[in-house]
Homo-oligomer: A and B are copies of this chain.
Amino acid sequence: MNHDRNDTPKNRLTGAQVAEHNSKDSCWVIVHGRAYDVTEFLPEHPGGSKIILKYAGKDATEEFEPIHPPDTLDKYLDKSKHLGEVDMGTVQQEEKEIDPDEEARQERIKRMPILEQCYNLMDFEAVARSVMKKTAWAYYSSGADDEITMRENHNAFHKIWFRPRVLEDVEHVDTSTTMLGAKVSMPFYVTATALGKLGNPEGEVILTRGAKKHNVIQMIPTLASCSFDEICDAAEDGQVQWLQLYVNKDRAVTKRIVEHAEKRGCKGLFITVDAPQLGRREKDMRSKFDDVGSNVQSSSGDDVDRSQGAARAISSFIDPSLSWKDIPWFLEITKMPIILKGVQRVEDVIRAIEAGVHGVVLSNHGGRQLDFARSGIEVLAEVMPVLRERNWQDRIEIYIDGGVRRATDIIKALCLGAKGVGIGRPFLYAMSAYGLPGVDRAMQLLKDEMEMNMRLIGCSSVSDLNPTLIDTRGLGMHTAVVPRDTLGQNVYDPLIGPKEKAKL
């Protein structure tokens, strides 16, 4: 290819010009057809300089896009570093190395199961794991430390069993309920999850459309790939949305966000309280390392690797000093109901009620923050009896999230006393694997399960659900079994069934 073409329009940079700035001494990158000088920004990049240097002198759009909100460069890079348009026709297309992992993934995409083969939420996760980019999968699927809380979240539901009623008229089953005053067709909402474009180029607006179709609420994440307004714009007529909020160190910024959300019609403000710092997620970090690690020439102490996964790259603004004393200020600046997201013990639920907020989400952030944090469903079982003893159970709406995969999980939470449950990853996986039809089917499957299982426990409406319908004796016991004696296990000769005849 000839880089010295004379037909380059005035004022547009050529690929060759950009390509000269390919080191940490002078580092230019192209994003969406415009060049930027990020040399001085390198040491400040929350995701580390390595990942940028990988694209020094090159087009970084594909990498940049899903993990940065659209206005990132305007906000964080001084205008003097905005170098203007690039004649993209002159930018050398990098011959991508043949990546055997990526080739295998493309092959898997070709042979992807059709949507009708997904019969439950786990199935979407199985497909997503198979067809998503490894780094995107790692970001969505990872949890804190040993991911014990992340897995316990779903496991905990396995400790709760049903005590169904029989011979109740369940011809007509109504799964609708209300959340913060809004009527919804099912007792779940789409909870906030970050970086939707990692899974689908359209991002969170797909979830908006899915939520609309099934008349459930979407909680808009602070760390969305789409901008807040894009997500609001995607909502139709009276569709209800909530805002999830990471509180910024700069309260003026926070105030602007809250006021803007209220103006755009958000019906609830969910303040995240379980993430003064975003968690270490080693699966995510390792995946990131694999991506940039091949460039690593030395491992001297000075050149510490700062690529700690997507999570930590996007969260440095969060205020770790947020505390109970900030709550009155929030109650002042907005009329939206305020819900604390991430409460994890009964003492703090009581404190929340006393502080005058309207709800809590018992949550451990999907197991992504503190390992060995208890599951929301377990905390719920701790909370409700205490509230009922005080007759406080109606002073606040209580939600849980984490590990919900089956309608039975939802029903268990409602039997215990939750108003509803949040579901995050499953819809991300459905979206990543099949786009909107995936989200649609995932919600439909939940609805089918919901009706079926309400019927099977003898309840025709959400208000029928109550604690006598479940057996929670097993909940709350964190059982880890005695390690096995390997030698003993090895010498045991297990029973076998009847043997086939020998081949003739």
- Does A16 interact with chain B (Cβ within 8 Å)? no
- Does A75 interact with chain B (Cβ within 8 Å)? no
Q: Which residues of B contact A137 (CB under 8 A)?
A: 493
Q: B491 near A147 (CB under 8 angstroms)?
A: no
- Does A322 interact with chain B (Cβ within 8 Å)? yes
- Does A55 interact with chain B (Cβ within 8 Å)? no
In the bound complex, CA of A471 to CA of B149 (Å): 14
Pick the most buried of A119, A159, A457: most chain B CB atoms within 10 A of its CB.
A119
Q: B497 near A343 (CB under 8 angstroms)?
A: no
- Does A160 interact with chain B (Cβ within 8 Å)? yes
Q: Which of A447-491 contact B (CB under 8 A)?
A: 448-449, 452-453, 455-457, 468, 471, 473-474, 476-483, 485-488, 490-491
In the bound complex, CA of A118 to CA of B478 (Å): 29
In the bound complex, CA of A498 to CA of B501 (Å): 33
In the bound complex, CA of A282 to CA of B320 (Å): 46
In the bound complex, CA of A482 to CA of B373 (Å): 12
In the bound complex, CA of A119 to CA of B326 (Å): 35
Q: Which residues of B contact A491 (CB under 8 A)?
A: 122, 125-126, 129, 497
- Does A283 interact with chain B (Cβ within 8 Å)? yes
A167/B348 contact (C-beta < 8 A), A137-B493, A280-B449, A371-B408 known? yes
Please tell me which stretch of A22-30, A168-176, A195-203, A253-261 contacts chain B, meaning at least 4 of its Cβ atoms lie within 8 angstroms of it.
A168-176
- Does A120 interact with chain B (Cβ within 8 Å)? yes
Q: Which residues of B contact A487 (CB under 8 A)?
A: 120, 122-123, 126, 146, 495-497
- Does A164 interact with chain B (Cβ within 8 Å)? yes
- Does A113 interact with chain B (Cβ within 8 Å)? yes
Chain B's closest residue to A493 (CB) is B141
| Contact sample, A vs B, 30 pairs, CB 8 Å cutoff | A114-B299, A116-B289, A119-B286, A122-B491, A126-B487, A129-B491, A145-B449, A154-B485, A158-B478, A158-B485, A162-B370, A164-B274, A164-B373, A165-B345, A167-B273, A167-B324, A167-B326, A168-B324, A169-B323, A171-B321, A276-B455, A276-B456, A280-B452, A286-B496, A301-B440, A347-B468, A474-B479, A474-B482, A479-B480, A481-B481
